[in-house]
Amino acid sequence: MKYRKKLSIIMIAAFALFLTACSSGSSQGAKDSLIIASSADAVTFDIQNTNDQATTRIARQIYETLIKQNEKLELEPGLAESWTVIDDTTYEFKLRKDVKFHNGEAFTAKDVAYTMNRAAASEQIGHIVGAVDPAKVKVIDDHTIQIGTKEPFGPFLTHLAHPATAIMNEKAVTDGGQDYGTQPVGTGPYKFTNWTAGSEVNVERFADYWGEKGLAETITFKVIKENSVRLIALENGEIDIAFDVAPSDIAKVEENKELALYRDLNLSTGYVGFNTQSKTPVNDVRVRQAINYAIDVDAIVKTVYQGVGKAAQGPLNPLVFGANSELEPYNYDVDKAKALLAEAGYADGGFTLKLLVGDNNAERIKIAEVVKEELSKLGITVEISQLEWGAYLDATGKGEGDMYILGWTTVTTDADYGLYPLFHTSQFGKAGNRAFYSNPKVDQLLDDGKTTIDPAAREALYKEAQVIIRDEAPWIFIQDGENVTATRKNVQGFKHHPTGSFFLSQVKVGE
């Protein structure tokens, strides 16, 4: 009897050990799945109707573009094997012949023509491919296409590497109708399978992919808004990769032998924007300048971001072509801020501003609190409104609120993309110019920058535009950013991309 009792105890202990091993093995040993967590959900997978990073990071695995940019930001063949510049407005592309869409349709030049014509008509991404002239999009044969622009467009080839120009299948879009954004079809290494809004997106390896097959059989993109919860999930092995590690969590990752930390400069600039057409005093340039002087940006980078990235000098990240490194920063100067407010007729402040911020970014929420505290010293009351990410983008796109906090990643590496959508009058609202900033001189400089081919001449135009933008202060320039990602130690093949949208097909979980 005692023998049987001892044996039972041993068996129970062994079974418990087995369960523990199975549980830990699913997160720490080699496996066919990859689980990734970020702070925000996708908006829509109709890639021509959004331009947010949360969506793009997933769409990168589903869709492909004619041209790719590698980690060094060099242009490489994508769905186009090669291309020829025929003249200043005409480009010819030779397409891959062995490509299928996820719905089984063969990829041809007709799909490229459909994509370009549809994209050129999109208000959301018009600044990316709006230069395309549908009348000059010509299918030569199944695997040759010419794409023409309305006028010379200096950054055209780099813009074709933007995820918004990913090639779509006309049949899939037509069949999907209004629901296409929740059932996308691309040519990428991973095929969309499911999206539980607010929770996760699932993709699976595409068996008929033309290139190097995805290493993970499935990838799950989870939404975990809270930074601390995301890190705990990584520590516990519930996820394999955590995007956008909070500065306050970096030390924890570095101290954990089961985790690996990746830090690399990216192409982003974080900012606090003003609604320059608000009915509050921020429609006065002197008030915007005063608020710029009242915010200690260096302190924000040091305390809120804990040294991640560096204080921004202007609207463009220094890695971007055309960035003006000679702009004079708004150094922290409360006396100067008070003088400018007095000049504008607000010596004692005495007004209230509504500051909008997304609820998915802890650092931006902290920045909102800093702005509120600093402006209170000038007699300005700040009311902070936290909104869910989708609602936040909608509200700022409509011009609600007087101030807002966002970031922009110049994914094409060209100043056109970093300035035109954000500061050109034609781009008000959801297209990018949420500051509703308008200056005819800036518009002209940005228009000329688009249509000029010579790089040196383009650079001069963009630098001049940045001086005006700096002086008129539609933004408070906050931080030039870094990509900060943490993985389980056994994750292999992960690489950052300066755009912040990563290629994940060659990432896997090893032993």
pLDDT (0 to 100) of residue 425: 97
User: Fold identical between 29-63+188-258+489-510 and 82-168?
Assistant: no
Answer whether 0.85 is exceeded by the pTM: no
Cα 181–Cα 184–Cα 188 angle in degrees, nearest 5: 145
Q: What is the pLDDT of residue 17?
A: 38
And the tokens for 351? 């007004």
Task: For residue 267, give Cα distances in angstroms to 86, 245, 392, 496.
Answer: 31, 17, 23, 12
pLDDT for res 28: 56
- Name the nearest CA neighbour of 44 among 203, 174, 191, 183: 183
CATH fold of 266-482: Dipeptide-binding Protein; domain 3 (3.10.105)
**pLDDT at residue number 215:** 97
Q: Please give the C-alpha separations between residue 298 and each of 310, 315, 361, 482, in angstroms, as whole numbers.
A: 8, 16, 19, 16
Superfamily for the 29-63+188-258+489-510 domain: Periplasmic binding protein-like II (3.40.190.10)
pLDDT (0 to 100) of residue 13 = 41
Per-residue pLDDT 10s for the chain (511 aa) are 333 333 344 433 443 333 344 444 444 567 899 999 999 999 999 999 988 889 999 999 999 999 999 988 899 999 999 999 999 999 999 999 999 999 999 999 999 999 999 998 887 777 788 889 999 999 999 999 999 999 999 999 999 999 999 999 999 999 999 999 999 999 999 999 999 999 999 999 999 999 999 999 999 999 999 999 999 999 999 999 999 999 999 999 999 999 999 999 899 999 999 999 999 999 999 999 999 999 999 999 999 999 999 999 999 999 999 999 999 999 999 999 999 999 999 999 999 999 999 998 889 999 999 999 999 999 999 999 999 988 999 999 999 999 999 999 998 899 999 999 999 999 999 889 999 999 999 999 999 999 999 999 999 999 999 999 999 999 999 999 999 999 999 999 999 999 888 999 999 999 8
Burial class (CB in 10 A: 0-12, 13-18, 19+), 366: middle
pLDDT for residue 360: 85
What topology is assigned to 82-168 in CATH? Dipeptide-binding Protein; domain 1 (3.90.76)
Count the Cβ atoms, other than its own, within 10 Å of residue 445: 24
Structure tokens at 459: 């650079």
Q: Please report, for the chain, the start and end positions of each structural domain, with discontinuous segments joined by +.
A: 29-63+188-258+489-510, 82-168, 266-482
If you count DSSP H runs as helices and E runs as strands, how many of each does the chain have, helices first?
16, 19
